[in-house]
């Protein structure tokens, strides 16, 4: 999980590379580096820690080169250090490489290169790549573009995932890039081209992009780009115009990206609803072509995702089963792949990934297709890997999400899943139309109700101030409230580093209650009128043992001896998680701020998990 940037054009490369790294720092931030070709030599500058450390190098101001590559790292092989930072060079200093991904057979390749006299200066898997390129460049006879041929032969030896940029002082007019299972885009303009692992890094420079496919090579010059497949046959490629506003990837006056993105949720949901849902009309998913006849053949739906996206899937499962009566399971992508799931042509598999580049989720999708299941991708990024692999693709329209801890992407995913469930139900005629119309009304009211939640935050800040020094917290809920408790617990772990666990409230007495002692904080979510009395009884079990309680609710629960109660607007229970999660997002945020932590870049985490 790393961020890579490249530039070639008629401007100084260094400022563009640094700005790109700053935009991509959410993808990795334990070291950073750049390499440019200056005075017929490759000049590298690397440092441990944030990009800000790299910026302090006074030598950067003297660089006038108009070609370079850059990298911000999330460590996989080798501890964070200057030596392990990218870019990495070959022993002759002729080739420089930055790499996102993991080379699984790097030990074998390292042994081969060592036997040929190559020395290694780092602990990384990446360092084998420039040395392999050098080996084949100097020892093989190629016809045509020798640089491209050497890169192609070297990368064909790699097992694992990679997005790679290569520059060479022997060919100072081009950058060569290739990808497999890791994201890479090329932004283009008349006399300059930009390369990045994620669109927001270069969105301020261009809105026209080439989206690379697996095993596709690109030779990037300042005024044009050549594309080649894995046999090095040249082909053309369409330009994709990305409509994101570049300012949406900026803080716009907010102290942190996470806070900005929490407050963007009303608009993100409004944009995700878009034209798919209108009163008096059936939901519109004409773009995916899933027919009534196909839906009638389905006997199982799987929702497959990781982390926060998986929690959105848990809410989607409830909606799909309730409205369509089709059995639905939610699976963690990394587990789904390896348990030999029962899949066939009567199975629909839905894969959720904010970035569309989550390695485990993409691998699970490929497995499902190989077994004959139909696949549907839900992503926030147009043209991402998962959407190009799936049979069908639909998009949330949350805009760029920069903070590592997902907020607006999560709530947008839930909205889109529930609208999809309504669409299926309308086709199958499996739920009374009046029930669906009432649900549609409630969905259309969500942006306004979210605005209400976001204007009443003082109680959340006050509670955060009382508990930010605690070391353990517990979250309880039943039904969709349990799914919310899981996501609330995850948010707290991610950015505050407080140990927390979530439990189905009815399971409390089957073991977890042993953890409850005087003063422990327990957070309960109560929004389901059919389960509220049962959940109150469960929470009373911790109250009687001295727990301090915070309750998120839209029900009348007065006189229950709870310490703090946060009221949210009432709505259909299927979509109440969209409202009830917001106080928990804010609670995690304010706890982290009171602790003086970096909210947007929590330790050990990166935004887009492109390694397995």
Region 28-52 average pLDDT: 83
* Cα distance between residue 512 and residue 76, in whole Å: 34
Residues that are catalytic: 2, 607
Q: Half-sphere exposure of residue 287, counting CA atoms within 13 Å on the CB side? A: 11
Cβ distance 464 to 590 under 8 Å?
yes
> E-assigned strands of 456-535?
472-477, 499-504, 521-526
pTM: 0.78
pLDDT given for residue 248 in this prediction: 61
Residue 502 structure tokens: 């979530």
Is the pLDDT score of 612 beyond 70? no
Residues 6+ apart with CB under 8 A from 139: none
Residue 250: count of CB within 10 angstroms of its CB? 16
DSSP string, 385-446: HHHHHSSEEEE-------SSS-SHHHHHHHHHHHHHHHHHHHHHT-S-HHHHHHHHHHHHHH
**Residues of the chain with pLDDT > 90: what percent?**
65
Residue 298 structure tokens: 């389905």
Residue 451, classed as helix, strand or coil, is helix
Helix axes 307-324, 480-496, angle to 10 degrees: 170
Residue 35: count of CB within 10 angstroms of its CB? 29
pLDDT given for residue 247 in this prediction: 58
* Cα distance between residue 248 and residue 267, in whole Å: 12
* Cα distance between residue 162 and residue 178, in whole Å: 8
Cβ distance 305 to 446 under 8 Å?
no
Confidence of residue 489 (pLDDT cuts 50, 70, 90): very high
Cβ distance 413 to 310 under 8 Å?
no
pLDDT of 191-234, one tens digit each?
999 999 888 788 889 999 999 988 999 999 999 999 999 999 99
More confident residue, 76 or 236: 236
Nearest CA to 264 out of 460, 464, 410, 417 is that of 410
Residues 6+ apart with CB under 8 A from 198: 3, 23, 24, 27, 183, 185, 355, 608
Residue 309 structure tokens: 């996206």
Q: What are phi and psi of 307, to 5 degrees?
A: 55, -130
Region 333-341 average pLDDT: 91
Radius of gyration of the chain (CA): 25
Confidence of residue 31 (pLDDT cuts 50, 70, 90): confident
pLDDT given for residue 358 in this prediction: 86
pLDDT of 511-552, one tens digit each?
888 888 898 999 999 999 888 888 888 888 888 888 899 999
| N-terminal to C-terminal alpha carbon distance within the chain | 10
Parallel, antiparallel or unpaired: strands 95-103 and 160-168: antiparallel
Parallel, antiparallel or unpaired: strands 548-553 and 564-567: parallel
Residue 182, classed as helix, strand or coil, is coil
pLDDT of 18-27, one tens digit each?
888 887 766 5
* Low-confidence winner among 135-139, 396-400, 556-560 (lowest mean pLDDT): 556-560
Domains (range + CATH), the chain: 3-245 (3.60.20.10), 254-454 (3.40.50.10490), 458-594 (3.40.50.10490)
pLDDT given for residue 84 in this prediction: 79
Query: H helices then E strands: how many in the chain?
Result: 18, 25
* Low-confidence winner among 295-299, 337-341, 370-374, 497-501 (lowest mean pLDDT): 337-341
**C-alpha distances out from residue 612 to 326, 541, 608, Å:** 31, 40, 11
- The b/e string for 473-510 (b: 16+ C-beta within 10 A; e otherwise) is bbbbbbbbbbbbbbbbbbbbbbbbebebebbbbeebee
* Cα distance between residue 122 and residue 47, in whole Å: 13
Parallel, antiparallel or unpaired: strands 564-567 and 374-379: unpaired
DSSP string, 325-382: ---EEEEEHHHHTTS-----TTEEEEEEESSS--HHHHHHHHHHHHTT-EEEEEESST
* Cα distance between residue 164 and residue 183, in whole Å: 10
**C-alpha distances out from residue 225 to 151, 187, 311, Å:** 16, 10, 41
Residue 230 structure tokens: 């894995």
Residues 6+ apart with CB under 8 A from 498: 470, 471, 472, 473, 492, 591
Cβ distance 74 to 3 under 8 Å?
no
Cβ distance 262 to 271 under 8 Å?
no
* Low-confidence winner among 98-107, 188-197, 507-516 (lowest mean pLDDT): 507-516
Secondary structure string (H, E, C) spanning 150-179: HHHHHHHCCCEEEEEEEEECCEEEEEEEEE
Is the pLDDT score of 75 beyond 70? no
Eight-state DSSP code of residue 192: -
Is the pLDDT score of 370 beyond 80? yes
* Cα distance between residue 192 and residue 199, in whole Å: 16
More confident residue, 413 or 509: 413
Residue 565: count of CB within 10 angstroms of its CB? 16
pLDDT of 142-158, one tens digit each?
888 999 999 999 999 99
Residue 100, classed as helix, strand or coil, is strand
Confidence of residue 246 (pLDDT cuts 50, 70, 90): low
Which secondary structure element, helix H or strand E, spans residue 300, and what is its range? strand 300-305
* Cα distance between residue 127 and residue 400, in whole Å: 32
Cβ distance 476 to 485 under 8 Å?
yes
Cβ distance 481 to 530 under 8 Å?
no
Region 260-285 average pLDDT: 92
Cβ distance 418 to 272 under 8 Å?
no
- SS3 helix, strand, coil % of the chain, rounded to 5? 40, 25, 40
pLDDT of 415-437, one tens digit each?
999 999 999 999 999 999 999 99
Residue labelled with tokens 């976001």: 454
């Amino acid at each position: 999980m790393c961020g890579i940037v490249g530039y070639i054009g008629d401007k100084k490369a260094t400022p563009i590379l640094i700005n790109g790294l700053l935009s991509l720092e959410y993808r990795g931030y334990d070291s950073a580096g750049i390499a440019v070709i200056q005075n017929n030599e490759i000049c590298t500058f690397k440092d441990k820690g944030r990009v800000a450390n790299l910026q302090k190098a006074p030598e950067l101001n003297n660089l006038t080169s108009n070609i370079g590559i850059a990298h911000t790292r999330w460590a996989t092989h080798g501890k964070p250090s200057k030596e392990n930072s990218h870019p990495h060079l070959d022993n002759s200093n002729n080739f420089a490489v930055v790499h996102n991904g993991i080379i699984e057979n790097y030990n074998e390749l390292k042994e081969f290169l060592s036997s040929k006299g190559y020395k290694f200066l780092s602990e990384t898997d990446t360092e084998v790549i420039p040395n392999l390129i050098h080996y084949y460049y100097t020892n093989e006879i190629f016809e045509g573009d020798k640089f491209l041929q050497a890169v192609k032969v070297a990368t064909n030896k790699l097992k694992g995932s990679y997005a790679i940029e290569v520059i060479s002082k022997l060919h100072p007019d081009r950058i060569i890039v290739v990808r497999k299972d890791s994201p890479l885009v090329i932004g283009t303009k008349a006399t300059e081209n930009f390369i990045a692992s994620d669109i927001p890094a270069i969105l301020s420079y261009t809105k026209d992009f080439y989206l690379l496919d697996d095993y596709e090579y690109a030779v990037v010059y300042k005024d044009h780009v050549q594309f080649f497949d894995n046999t090095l046959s040249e082909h053309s490629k369409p330009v994709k115009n990305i409509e994101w506003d570049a300012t949406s990837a900026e803080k716009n006056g907010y102290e942190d990206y996470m806070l900005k993105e929490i407050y963007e949720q009303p608009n993100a949901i409004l944009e995700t609803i878009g034209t798919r849902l209108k009163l008096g009309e059936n939901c519109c998913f004409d773009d995916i072509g899933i027919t009534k006849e196909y839906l009638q053949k389905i006997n199982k739906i799987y929702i497959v995702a990781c982390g926060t996206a998986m929690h959105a899937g848990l809410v989607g499962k409830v909606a799909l089963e309730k409205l369509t009566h089709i059995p639905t399971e939610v699976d963690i992508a990394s587990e789904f792949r390896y348990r030999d799931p029962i899949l066939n042509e009567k199975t629909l598999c839905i894969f959720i990934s904010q970035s569309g580049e989550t390695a485990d989720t993409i691998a699970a999708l490929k497995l499902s297709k190989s077994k004959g299941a139909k696949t549907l991708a839900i992503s926030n990024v147009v043209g991402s890997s998962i959407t190009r692999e799936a049979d069908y693709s639909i998009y949330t329209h949350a805009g760029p999400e920069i903070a590592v801890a997902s907020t607006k992407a999560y709530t947008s995913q839930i909205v889109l899943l529930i609208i999809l469930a309504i669409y299926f139900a309308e086709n199958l005629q499996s739920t009374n139309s009046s029930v669906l119309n009432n649900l549609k009304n409630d969905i259309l009211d969500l942006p306004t109700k979210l605005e209400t939640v976001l204007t009443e935050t003082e109680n959340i800040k006050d509670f955060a101030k009382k508990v930010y020094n605690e070391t353990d917290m517990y979250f309880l809920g039943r039904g969709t409230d349990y799914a919310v408790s899981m996501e609330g617990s995850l948010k707290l772990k991610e950015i505050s580093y407080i140990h927390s666990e979530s439990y189905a409230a009815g399971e409390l007495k089957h073991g977890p209650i042993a953890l409850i002692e005087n003063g422990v904080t327990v957070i309960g979510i109560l929004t389901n009128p059919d389960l509220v009395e049962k959940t109150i009884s469960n929470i009373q079990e911790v109250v009687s043992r001295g727990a301090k309680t915070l309750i998120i609710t839209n029900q009348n629960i007065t006189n229950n001896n709870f310490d703090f109660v946060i009221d949210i607007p009432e709505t259909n229970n299927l979509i109440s998680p969209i409202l009830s999660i917001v106080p928990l997002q804010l609670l995690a945020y304010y706890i982290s701020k009171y602790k003086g932590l970096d909210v947007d870049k929590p330790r050990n985490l990166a935004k887009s998990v492109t390694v397995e």
